[in-house]
Amino acid sequence: MAKQIKVAVAGATGAVGREMLKVLEQRDFPASEVVPFASARSAGQKVPFKGGELTVRELTEDSFAGFDIALFSAGGGTSEKFAPLAAKAGCVVIDNSSAWRMDDACPLVVPEVNAHDLEWHKGIIANPNCSTIQMVVALKPLHDAAGIRRVIVSTYQAVSGTGQKAIVELENQVRRLMSGQEANPEVYPHQIAFNCLPHIDVFLDNDYTKEEMKMVKETVKIMGDPGIKVTATTVRVPVFYGHSESVNVEFERPLSPQQARVVLSQAPGVTVLDNPREKIYPMPIDAAGEDATFVGRIRKDETIENGLNMWIVADNIRKGAALNAVQIAEALIEQGLLGVPGVNR
């Protein structure tokens, strides 16, 4: 008889938590039970699932007894407190915060890229940053084909990456500005409507933002090659859903745009939209609600010997968060890796 898999979703009332429930339903995830958890103030709320509703329970230290998988989207502080407790109870945690991503004991996984790293998990698996996920999905097959030396990436990130309050702020600012009122920014330090902010997360001592350094460090860990050099500039733009990235790649060996299109068209999780003469290229409005990572504008970088430019777009709430987490759970089941080493259930 197949194992009955019980799934907890922590942070189930947030945008990513709700999307996790939607993805579990849409992919017909083999769960015997799915239970949503959130803070005490959200306990008792109803969230939609499979044509009905689930009642949100309060997240406590004892919440994870009997569960096999916990999908976390409740913030770094919550994860730091509760993820070890869940793992101690024998529940494998897939965490969407930044709390565990650079922990040497925790795999940082994008299933299309490094599902093999799940083999050494100790109970907590990190879901990468949204902008990193979509980039490495496209980079991995190209790295296998020609070897990547250096990546220069500039991102154009949707406000949904900040959360529901940012979505509302963009909506309100557009209305206010169009009626002649002041923007009154609260979520962001400056007006986001009709503007671009080259500032995501906090600035560090090296004058890069934390978001930019996440892309640098996470890419190397996921790709498993410390020889890959990455530099990033991350920008918040007035788009609701879908992150876009302009990516310049320098390779060790020649790779033509035509060859890259073939490689990418055969890669898992990638859809190539690249016919500029017909004005076909990826856009955030096309990616919203979709599972794929879209790649286009593939062209030679004429300033270096082995270089390509490309444009990468994906839904930051789906592939950049919820979908990737569920895909990790699916890979755990497929590889027979449920359970926490050293924990008897």
Whole-angstrom Cα distance, residue 293 to residue 314? 5
CB atoms within 10 A of CB 216: 17
- Joined together, the tokens standing for residue 205 give 């001592």
- Joined together, the tokens standing for residue 334 give 């497929």
Give the catalytic positions in this structure.
130, 243
Q: Is 104 exposed, middle or buried (0-12, 13-18, 19+ CB in 10 A)?
A: exposed
Whole-angstrom Cα distance, residue 317 to residue 290? 10
Whole-angstrom Cα distance, residue 95 to residue 128? 9
Whole-angstrom Cα distance, residue 317 to residue 325? 11
DSSP letter assigned to residue 117: G
Where does 145-268 show beta strands of DSSP type E? 148-157, 229-236, 243-251
Where does the chain show beta strands of DSSP type E? 5-10, 31-38, 46-49, 52-55, 57-58, 69-72, 92-95, 124-126, 148-157, 229-236, 243-251, 270-272, 293-300, 307-314
